[in-house]
Chains A and B, each alone.
Chain A
Amino acid sequence: MEESSKRSEQRKEMEKERKKGEKKRRKEEEEEEEEILIFNHKSAEKEKEDEDLSDSEDSVFSGLEDSGSDSEDDDDDDEDLKVDQNLSQQVKKEEEDVQSSLKKKDEEEEVKRDEYEHDSSDEEDIRNTVGNIPMEWYKDFPHIGYDLDGKKIYKPIRNKDELDDFLDKMENPDYWRTVQDKQTGSDVVLSDEQVELVKRLQRGQFGDVNFNEYQPQVEFFTQEVMLHPVTNRPADKRSFIPSLLEKDKVSKLVHAIKMGWIKPRRDSRDDSRGRYYDLWASEDTSNLARHRMHLPAPKIPLPGHHESYNPPPEYLFTDEERALWEQQDPVDRKFPFVPRSFSSLRLVPAFPRFIHERFERCLDLYLCPRQRKMRVNVNPEDLIPKLPKPKDLQPFPTTQSLVYRGHSGLVRSISVSPSGQWLASGSDDGSVRFWEICSSRCLKTVQVGGAVKSVAWNPNPSVCLLAVALDSAVLILSPALADRQVVLSSDRLLSAPQEAEPIEGDGLVNWSDTEGEELNQGIRLKIQHPKAVQQVAWHTKGDYLASVMPDHSSHLQVLIHQVSRRRSQNPFRKNKGLVQSVSFHPIRPYFFVATQRSVRIYNLVKQDLTKKLHANSKWISSMAVHPGGDHVICGSYDCKLSWFDLDLSTKPYRMLRHHRKAVRSVAYHRLYPLFASAADDGSIIVCHGTVYNDLLQNPLIVPVKVLRGHVITHELGVLDVTFHPTQPWIFSSGADATIRLFT
């Protein structure tokens, strides 16, 4: 590096000088060219000198190193190298000779002949001057080249054909020693000496007869110490005084050894025999934190019967299993190999993935994070909650006892009369049927002319009325299935004088008395709504009736009718979502409205919202209010049933996911602590739900019975469910056009 930098510096200086020179030249234009030339020459010479200098420096250093290494380490190698160099030099010389001779040949015509008198290679040219060219160039010509004057040199006339040649061969005694000179094209008869020479060369002998191949060797250097020196030259001075260079070199080595840069040679013999010793001789029981925290790698699982070379036949794969194994992703396979069976040990081949498996183990060992996982051995029986036995929670419906047949369409809605004697059902076939519960006899059928969406029996036991929702009308039926007193009182209620026309919902709702055929059937009143009615619900007193008309875009979804005064009103001014069902509070003036996601509770007296319950479900399908009025259950289409404790929270106290499919209907029993849910999977689940008066105690919910019986038709199972008002019985109506009673 330093040298190069020096050089570059020198070059810079040189250039400076040159520039100076140029400046000078500009100044002294009168000066002659020769001088400038000389100047340039000088600078060039200087440059050369510099380079030489640097080279010499290099060589000095390299030479030093070389000599040092020679003296130190391997003499033999270097000697070989030297020999090689000598050889190469010789070869080079020879090559040069050849080249020079060639050049000379090329130039021969320009140079005088005398110079080549002794050159044997030129002797041919004395005979022929065509030059050193391939003779086949002139194969088809009569001449073989040109002489100095440019005249053709003709080949000797040869018109021998094969026959002549043959005759010549037969007759000429010298034929065997006749050769054709390619250069001149003439035949030459070899002399005896020449023949002899050829023979000798063929035998591999020297051409010269007198040459002795086996001359005694004269040894120049012998092992014997000679009396006199080989040369008479006096010894150099440097052979007497110690070499400074060597001293320098040695001191450098010594320094390097001292500093530890060069290490003395290690003994190369194998120390494996003494490599091992008792490592754990002094068993110190130092329990470091490091060791406590250490997680030993898990051992490889031990092989099972599958891996045997001769497993029992049941462990071998069948064709299907094998196909499955081949289809599976290598990660998903239960075994990384196919079990195979061999009849004897000598037939077992090498396992192709052996090295892979070891390698994967290695990767696992150093690449996999380790973690201590606490695996609790749980007894699954312990996970099952301890609940009171259903036996102790009786009574509840257990068996199907009656089936009410008669409808031809799916039965959407059923209702039991407050006396507990009659059952009303509305179906898609456009009829409302009245059944006697105990005998399952259909007492009355009313054709209403449209699919019945909902029926609701007036809960007031002193009247006998049924509200029926179909299309966009609500009908009030008086089936006359009670005492005379009751029938009369219900008639009185319906025929109450129309004092004033309703103020609210003026143009919306049209109250009308029915006549003729309809009246004969028992239909007494028709309340015409502007939209399709989905559900009707009575107030406990039996005077007020709520109807639901689900609509996304309108605030007119719920109407409350007063039957005695034939008045209707729309209680809500705003649309708060699609109303699914409504219900009156059994005791207090509250009104429950279930929208898609939540249940709103309104105070009818104060006319404001008291509570909003969030059912954690997607779409509420039905709602039921506990007879105590403090609890609400909601069924939803996403199979859930949520129990709200109104005193506790606005979030469900319990979410029950008992059903497999959408819950269609839920119901509370009026007297017994029972509730039921019916779903599209055709099952009714009856649960025990005790509610305590003590506020600190949560309701106890225990499923007690799963009732099945309805046939699933068109993906629909049970559509409505309701309890008997006094008995622990449950009615259900299904899509299979039947109503069933479970007792």
Chain B
Amino acid sequence: MTHQFPSLSPEQKKELSDIAQRIVAPGKGILAADESTGTMGKRLQKINVENTEENRRCFRELLFSSNPSIANSVGGVIFFHETLYQKSDSGKLFPQVVKEKGIVVGIKVDKGTAGLNGTDGETTTQGLDGLSERCAQYKKDGCDFAKWRCVLKISDGCPSALAIAENANVLARYASICQQNGLVPIVEPEILPDGAHDLQRCQYVTEKVLAAVYKALSDHHVYLEGTLLKPNMVTAGHSCTKKFTPQEVGMATVTALRRTVPASVPGICFLSGGQSEEEASLNLNAINQVPLHRPWKLTFSYGRALQASALAAWQGKAANKGAAQEAFCNRAKINGLASKGEYKPSGSADQASMQSLYTASYVY
């Protein structure tokens, strides 16, 4: 590490930094609408809708043509490749529809996971081949940020040192290539919630994974001010018998991030994983109320946690479009408030939700 060689000019750095700031402007987060064709198949099957290109277009049209006030809560939308070239009912390309609302357009650029031989079912993520050329084209086609998802899991033998190092490295390569082409890379090292592990174990693993990610980003000379992080919240595994409050989730999550994510990263946009819409909002809200100094924006990058109600209201019927859009706008607004720690759930004001429930004596 003796000499610095040029990576980005000051103008390129400023462009990336400005884009990142716009996406995570106060009160805003990201709509992850980048479900692959296969994943959309699963979503549509739940409401008995056929997985055709037109139906996928219809549903995304529903989301993107919502009331323009959506831009108060949504700073960016992540597209899937197919969707980037589809048009609204009025014949306008979707990126343009979104941009006209003042929302930044992003694109999923990874090509899914691939097995790591010799591990216990662990994976890395592919998609680096020709990535530079693809990024240049996406930039021309209206994108200003990209997303790449790596996956790790917790079990007796996982995550292994190889899985952590390999995924951190591939995320850093992707980030470096994106920045060369004017795209802000969203770095997503998801640790799955599958398993019976407790909150503490998830926190430990998350800290190790994120430390490796930021070391790799440093090694690859990535400009941190022009990146965003999309991590899992720190939660107990799905089959963990112990229940934890949003305050405990918040404290564990913020502690992990404070120990690993440099202050120069402008924003952290949590994935919702398997959480319900309400759970994801309550946890995000709790995260933004944790009494520790948080030098980055802490907001959302939600897929299911923004779309589930809308999908259920739609049922594939044009007549339900308005109701579906309202459901979507409602969740967006709630998450916008949660990203400022201002979400006050009405209705069932159970005694617990009002009090701080995290054990003050527990040192995370």
A and B found bound together: no
Residues of B within 8 A of A (CB): none
Residues of A within 8 A of B (CB): none
